[in-house]
Structure 1
Amino acid sequence: MTPLTYLQGYPEHILLKVQRLIEQQRLAELLTQRYPNSHGVTSDKALYQYTLELKNRYLRHAPPINKVAWDGKIQVLKHALGLHTAISRIQGNKLKAKAEIRVATVFKAGPEDFLRMIVVHELAHLKEKQHDKAFYQLCCHMEPRYHQLEFDTRLWLVQKALTAQECP
């Protein structure tokens, strides 16, 4: 796997700029300058509280969230950065629905802005199931820098992959 796998679908001129940053060994420095602070959200309970605060601020009338957790099983390339699942169960004559959000544990050590972008993305799925225009408008409503943060999160993953290649 090449580190630029995280940037599939981006235009060639963007990929060339990223490649130049990598060759000049400036990608890590750029990301550290832009995002110097990490977050302190390390437990599932803290992640649930963090997510609930965002939900209550922007999506008060959306369905409740039953569980939010860090998930070490999420493979970032296959499952993106987090998961939103809706579980429906029949209990007697009632249909019970539960919403769960899981965030890849790789982001425990990441910048708060990246965590916020992922949580915003998963919260948007409470109202909009598809990745369509309405979905991204909702993401941008909750986080105006959503698209830049998503790109920078992918750059951060590229840098992590490069670091892992250097230190097996």
Structure 2
Amino acid sequence: MHRLKYLTGYPPQLTAQVAHLVTENRLGEVLVQRYPTVHDVRTDRALYDFTVAVKNEFMRTAQPLSRVLYDGKIHAIKNALGTHTFVSRVQGGKLKAKHEIRIASIFREAPLEFLKMIVVHELAHLKEKEHNKAFYQLCEYMEPRYHQLEFDTRLFLTQVEIAGSPYLP
């Protein structure tokens, strides 16, 4: 049986259901039924525009983003789904802050809901640096189905690991 490393910490009855889907080779089918289309946010510019639109809808007063891009060096399978970096620099007599979001390139070919969940997660770091209660409340404010989408993204990663390729409905 395949080890479900993305689902550690979830209740045993839930992981048993996923293990059953994996054993029957039906996990991909279930994901396609829930999320039948792949987004068209393929370029870094389109990703930047998408992220800024989400930010402007929910966090107008948050600091601006310097860069948003897909990063092939982020290995979702081993590290993270995305990263938010904050760099402070002194320029003249002013302190300048730059915020950069990088998203694993595996999500170029994923359902829009998964991409939005990752963007929401990284945007929440503009206000809350730690994964605390306020952080997750902000995530749920921007995406009410945040926790379900996070779980389904873990199923997606499990399917990618098993199949060896991105999700393509």
Fold shared per TM-score above 0.5: yes
**Structure 1: runs of 5 or more not aligned:** none
Question: What CA distance in whole angstroms lies between the structure 1 residues aligned with 2:21 and 2:152?
Answer: 13
Aligned to 2:90: 90
Q: Percent identity, please.
A: 57
- Contact 2:77 2:157 (8 Å CA) reproduced: no
> 2:31 aligned with 1:31, yes or no?
yes
2:101 is paired with a residue of what secondary structure?
Answer: strand
Question: What CA distance in whole angstroms lies between the structure 2 residues aligned with 1:19 and 1:124?
Answer: 32
1:76 is paired with a residue of what secondary structure?
Answer: coil
- Deviation (angstroms), 1:92: 2.2
- Contact 2:65 2:98 (8 Å CA) reproduced: yes
**Which structure shows the bigger proportion of residues in helix conformation?**
1
- Contact 2:35 2:111 (8 Å CA) reproduced: yes
Question: What CA distance in whole angstroms lies between the structure 2 residues aligned with 1:75 and 1:38?
Answer: 20
- Contact 1:3 1:162 (8 Å CA) reproduced: no
Closer/same/farther in 2, CA of residues 50 and 7 from structure 1, 3 Å limit: same
Amino acid at match of 2:12: E
**Structure 2: runs of 5 or more not aligned:** none
TM-score, scaled to structure 1: 0.94
Question: What CA distance in whole angstroms lies between the structure 1 residues aligned with 2:69 and 2:143?
Answer: 21
Question: What CA distance in whole angstroms lies between the structure 2 residues aligned with 1:3 and 1:38?
Answer: 26
Question: What CA distance in whole angstroms lies between the structure 2 residues aligned with 1:102 and 1:81?
Answer: 9
Question: What CA distance in whole angstroms lies between the structure 1 residues aligned with 2:43 and 2:3?
Answer: 28
- Contact 1:66 1:98 (8 Å CA) reproduced: yes
Matches within 5 A, 1:55-70: 55-70=55-70
- Deviation (angstroms), 1:13: 1.6
Aligned to 1:150: 150
What root-mean-square deviation, in Å, do the aligned CA atoms of Structure 1 and Structure 2 show?
1.3
- Deviation (angstroms), 1:34: 0.1
2:4 is paired with a residue of what secondary structure?
Answer: helix
1:137 is paired with a residue of what secondary structure?
Answer: helix
- Deviation (angstroms), 1:25: 1.4
Matches within 5 A, 1:114-153: 114-153=114-153
- Deviation (angstroms), 1:3: 5.1
- Contact 1:81 1:103 (8 Å CA) reproduced: yes
How many residue pairs align between the two structures? Answer: 164
- Deviation (angstroms), 1:134: 0.5
Aligned to 1:43: 43
Amino acid at match of 1:44: D
- Runs of 4 or more above 3 Å deviation: none
- Contact 1:3 1:158 (8 Å CA) reproduced: no
- Contact 1:66 1:100 (8 Å CA) reproduced: yes
Question: What CA distance in whole angstroms lies between the structure 1 residues aligned with 2:48 and 2:31?
Answer: 27
Aligned to 1:164: 164
- Contact 1:66 1:99 (8 Å CA) reproduced: yes
